[in-house]
Structure 1
């Protein structure tokens, strides 16, 4: 009987997995969920519910659109018939949206993000294989938010996109861990401004102060090494914290635990002393999402140090 088959909701948001090459050589996401699901073969008996949210390059998704994805996941989780959820998403911001969903929902069933590195009409299109693997994960009963991509199955806390052209695009960026347990930050991040500010060797404080002047409600430093900057940056961070704008230090270095050990006026230790929270494991994209979720929930001061310091 059809009603006895497991129901998997598949939320389509665009991205490379939904894209084909145009005549001018550019790629555009124009395939809807039903068209993508029609590519699949060899699935076990089940029901699939395509949900077309939007068709966007994920590089264009702001906090509002990421919140829309999270809200769509919440609607499917509220349906007791749904046994699992798959989100088809672009890779440019998959690490961000997946962390937001993980922070905002206590997922009672598998919630699985996947996508593709190659367009639907590419000779080595990887979308169908990734979708198939994601649906199998969604059927597994493993509650929580997962990323299934390029033959890898990972929890989303601490992941980052490590390659622009390899099929297995994502890796954990620090020690393998599931992330802090029991965290629930459901307040909407739509409408918040949380900026990333890149730090260059010898760089000044211009962009930090510009973000502060633009009304940022949080700033994440894309710092050097293990989370280092310059004396001018440290002074600007001190002013941000005094103005009630939280600052988090992450790093442009793609992998490894970040330790605030350097002094000298602009090192990670100095930034921490100036009031910056130090992201031990999260790289800038996910650090921004965690900071936004904490700011929206009003819990930066109470939970920030513990969550950002989680190994």
Structure 2
């Protein structure tokens, strides 16, 4: 029987319902998550509190500190893997951040809950039990950062929250889960082959995420340099296409302000590619200096840019992190 570190960051899995305030963080629950009796039959667990915050309070700087914290814990010879408890709202961003900056062989699994401890059907204990099982499995070694809820195992790069309240909220559109947690086994069906490691010594959290729309004149992009932003992700249409005036502002940001602009799609399946050469099409944007980001969502692309800017602010060097197709 191995030893698994349960590292807490907060979230609904450590919250209770207050009659006056609503659902709020509970220090008591956060400090005793490893006292679920069924855990004793799986592994020895050590609870280590990193923080106890709602996940909307998470920032890239805190994520970076968490990554250093996890790396230190996993360097211990007596620790075989780690489970990170987190809020569901931004779990996918923290998971992807950790997947980019950490390169650990020991299993690291993020888990959470959609229902707090006062609800009769709270899912926190079941998710934690399943996640400790995954972190204890030799099959999870060297798989990158995993996300485990509702007995499904997902890749950090691919997973996203799809439902505001349902316990089956996490999915990997276009990919599906890596595997499942069953009563008698941890089963992996596949691996994520597009993982990337970035050896960042710091992160740049002044990165904007702007969603474009029909009739958008790009005026929001005008103010980004004055507000101190060091980069922006623009979530466009289809293959990464945007309205004409947005295209003009993107060119201005890149050529006049030397601000990296990553263009992604609001579609949650498929790749962004320079197919369309009309004014505002993906090919036109690339000619204007934009970077076409092959990330699965705007929020994931922003996370990667915060990490990549910790290495370089050269636009052509940044392009190498985003424009790839997985081919040899």
Q: Note the alpha carbon deviations across 1:116-161, whole angstroms, 9 max, x for none.
A: 1111211221111110111001101322211111121012112221
**Which of 235, 242, 253 is the matching residue for 1:240?**
253
**SS at 1:51's partner residue?**
strand
> How far apart are residue 203 of structure 1 and its match?
0.4
- Structure 2 CA distance for aligned equivalents of residues 123 and 260 of structure 1: 51
Cα pair distance change 1:37/1:288, threshold 3 Å: same
Q: Note the alpha carbon deviations across 1:224-261, whole angstroms, 9 max, x for none.
A: 23322111111111122122211111223333333442
CA contact 2:102–2:197 (8 Å) conserved in 1: no
1:114 aligned to 2:115?
A: no
Cα pair distance change 1:304/1:140, threshold 3 Å: farther
Q: Equivalent residues in 2 for 1:186-197 (5 A)?
A: 186-189=200-203, 192-197=205-210
RMSD: 2.1
Number of residue pairs matched?
Answer: 306
> How far apart are residue 202 of structure 1 and its match?
1.1
**Which of 226, 233, 236 is the matching residue for 1:213?**
226
- Structure 1 CA distance for aligned equivalents of residues 128 and 228 of structure 2: 40
> How far apart are residue 175 of structure 1 and its match?
4.5
Unmatched runs of 5 consecutive residues or more in structure 2: 177-190
Partner of 1:18: 14
Q: Note the alpha carbon deviations across 1:49-83, whole angstroms, 9 max, x for none.
A: 11111111111212112212212211112212210
Partner of 2:75: 78
- Structure 1 CA distance for aligned equivalents of residues 311 and 124 of structure 2: 35
Partner of 1:201: 214
**SS at 2:148's partner residue?**
strand
Cα pair distance change 1:203/1:30, threshold 3 Å: same
- Greater shift in the superposed pair: 54-63 or 176-185: 176-185
> How far apart are residue 174 of structure 1 and its match?
4.0
Cα pair distance change 1:40/1:98, threshold 3 Å: farther
Cα pair distance change 1:269/1:182, threshold 3 Å: closer
- Structure 1 CA distance for aligned equivalents of residues 264 and 174 of structure 2: 12
**SS at 1:41's partner residue?**
helix
**Which of 265, 284, 290 is the matching residue for 1:270?**
284
Partner of 1:58: 55
CA contact 1:77–1:108 (8 Å) conserved in 2: no
Cα pair distance change 1:309/1:182, threshold 3 Å: closer
- Structure 2 CA distance for aligned equivalents of residues 272 and 40 of structure 1: 56
User: TM-score of the superposition, structure 1-length normalised?
Assistant: 0.90
1:139 aligned to 2:136?
A: yes
Partner of 1:304: 319
Partner of 1:163: 163
- Greater shift in the superposed pair: 221-230 or 280-289: 221-230
CA contact 2:30–2:52 (8 Å) conserved in 1: no
**SS at 2:38's partner residue?**
coil
Cα pair distance change 1:260/1:61, threshold 3 Å: same
1:102 aligned to 2:116?
A: no
**SS at 2:24's partner residue?**
strand
